Amino acid sequence: MRAILPLIYVIIGAVIAQQHHYFAHVNSIAQVASAALAIVLWPLILFQVNLHIK
């Protein structure tokens, strides 16, 4: 059961990142980093923190 929790956390993060358009145009390293941050730090996105790296 404990091994499933990190997987669920990452899946939720990916869904939330996709809903907030972090995967829209992943062409550069900065956009890939933004998407990765959005997946890991998804609770911040729910508080309207912008994780897009420019």
| pLDDT one-digit tens code per residue, 25-43 | 889 999 999 999 999 999 9
| Interval 1-17: pLDDT, tens | 788 999 999 999 999 99
| Nearest one of 40, 42, 41 to 19, comparing CA atoms | 42
Residues 17/48/51/21 CA torsion (nearest 10 deg) = 40
Non-local CB neighbours of 40 within 8 Å, separated by 6+ positions: 13
Structure tokens at 53: 């790296």
How far, in Å, are 15, 28, 31 from residue 1 at the CA level?
Answer: 21, 36, 33
Domain residue spans in the chain? Answer: 4-46
CA 5, distance to chain mean position in Å, is 16
